[in-house]
Amino acid sequence: MVHERKQIAEDAGLAAAGTPAATDPAAAEPGAAKAAAPPGRGGQWIVLVAVALGTMMEALDGTVVAVANPVIAVDLDTDLSTLQWVTNGYMLAVACTLITAGKLGDRYGHKKVFLIGMAGFAATSVMAGLADSIGMLIFWRVLQGVSGAVLAPSGLAVLKNTFPKGQLKIAIGVWSAVGALAMAAGPFIGGLTVDLLSWRWVFFINLVVSVAAFALGAWAIGNSRPDGATRSFDTPGVLLLTAALFALVWGIIQVPEHGWAHVHPLGSFAAAVLIGAGFVLRERAAREALLPLDLFRLRAVSVGSTALLIGGFATFGASFYLALYLQQVHGFEPMEAGLGLLPFTVLFGVGAPTGAVLNARFGPRVPLASGLTLIGGALLGLSQMTAGSSYHAMWPFLVPLGVGMGMVAPTAIEMIVSSAPGQLTGVASGLQQTALMLGGVLGTAALASIISARVSSVLPEHIGQAGVPDGLAATLHDLSKVVSQGVVPVPEGTDPSAARAAVEAGHAAFMDGFHTAMLCGMAVVLAGALIAALLAPRMRTAPDGTETAEADAAA
């Protein structure tokens, strides 16, 4: 353990006592690389294009599959509870393997692992498109998730190894913007593909992007492995971490259906805690730990991970329920709802380079605190929406939501990746993506619980105010969980005036829950903004007058 602390401090550019190791600005920066690894036959910006293409493919895959799901359900004759595992299986696989996949890059070389992940993603995409049953589709989606987890951390590590410290912030900003714009284009591309070809081509199109990214990456990315990378592999740590993350994400996924107090999620959370404790004990004892716990003593890593967790919690949770609001309350089609959320995803693409510029000029404290504050203001504005509010009253609040998250994500990612020791670049890349994913899953589940509890509380009052007949009122009471998703179940043949009263009451109760959820999300985000304002590194002036991020005293 002492050896791990000393190694992290040294690789972070700090002396053993925790003071700057040199007067050179690059050496004084936490995690400053000795020198960026040279690219292959292409320049460093060609490397960025190759990595961004891989990111674009991953981001595009998520949104186009969501649009294709209704058609898949009909074609493969499956129900909603089974269909959701097309997404959940992918998400579980990614969440459980990101950090381990990052370690593979640290050990075997980031270029090699990036290209393997790219090839695997292409192959599993083709097999998913050829699936003739829902079971086989889910199987290939899980393997696709594993391939995506292998691809993503090494791609980001390639950027760190290619770009010097001063340009890394901009490179990560561009990389993040490409992913956001791909997400924004996903609903349109997915809808167009399903309408003109079939849902299978939603997966086949990945092959085209994969071939381009693989060829460009093989040519442009240099062969390098971080100095000091160990050849040993912490197999027990891998198994324990994978099992703990699986139990945690599995439990969170079950919360919207069963609630926090049900035996299923509680059992999963208990298993996650016990296995996680075993993982901590293993990492403390391991000679070459998978995830050295002293990594979290670096302030940039701990604050950056917290910012990503909170940002993902707020933005992914809010966007999920905004999509429900547009579809269930306003009657938008799924593709229309996706297009309605374009201001969020497109403005994320604007916020990412903006955050990168602010990070380069002022250090991470300004873009992190400002971005989280913008998200909080957006949630406050969204909390004022009513069932009768038009889309034109909603979209202005999507602007600060997108810009804010765009400022937070690349800044926090750059903090984590650039501060980690060279031999843990891949692990740090996997860590930041795990934090963002866990935040999104947790935000969706937590906001679902808040909305459900609020709907159950206020639904009787709204039913009474709307004058819903007793029989229909009893039906709504029994199906309050359905109402908490914006759906108002009215039996066929119901008197039109009674049906209108039921819909009015159900939507009013849903909006009450939505208001409470947005305000709770705002409180969490503003707490994150305060943490960033107080603890994120600031800029300091080096002896030669160069402004750099302050050294990480927590090391």
Q: What is the pLDDT of residues 270-300, one digit of tens each?
A: 999 999 999 899 888 887 778 888 888 888 8
Residue 550 pLDDT: 54
Residues composing the chain = 555
Give, in order, the Cα–Cα distances in Å from 367 to each of 107, 173, 466: 33, 12, 46
Do residues 126 and 207 touch, judged by C-beta distance below 8 A?
yes
pTM: 0.79
Q: Which residues of the chain have pLDDT under 70?
A: 1-42, 62-63, 80-81, 224-232, 539-555
Among 419, 423, 433, CA closest to 359 = 419
Do residues 7 and 293 touch, judged by C-beta distance below 8 A?
no
Among 180, 430, 418, 428, CA closest to 315 = 180
Residue 549 pLDDT: 52
Q: Report how far residue 14's alpha carbon sits from residue 551's, in angstroms, rounded to the nearest whole number.
A: 8
Q: Report how far residue 323's alpha carbon sits from residue 325's, in angstroms, rounded to the nearest whole number.
A: 5
Burial profile 298-311: b = 16 or more Cβ within 10 angstroms, e = fewer: bbbbbbbbbbbbbb
By CB neighbour count within 10 A (0-12 exposed, 13-18 middle, 19+ buried), where does 410 fall? Answer: buried
- For domain 30-233, the CATH architecture is Up-down Bundle (1.20)
Domains 30-233 and 291-555 share a fold: yes
Do residues 502 and 509 touch, judged by C-beta distance below 8 A?
no
Residue 293 pLDDT: 83
Q: Report how far residue 126's alpha carbon sits from residue 140's, in angstroms, rounded to the nearest whole number.
A: 9
Residue 11 pLDDT: 42
Terminal Cα distance for the chain, rounded: 14
Amino acid at 435: A
Domain ranges of the chain: 30-233, 291-555
Residue 144 pLDDT: 92
Q: Mind spelling out the 3-state secondary structure of 443-498?
A: HHHHHHHHHHHHHHHHHHHHHHHHCCCHHHHHHHHHCHHHHCCCCCCCCCCCCHHH
Residue 375 pLDDT: 95
Task: Look at domain 291-555 and name its CATH class.
Answer: mainly alpha
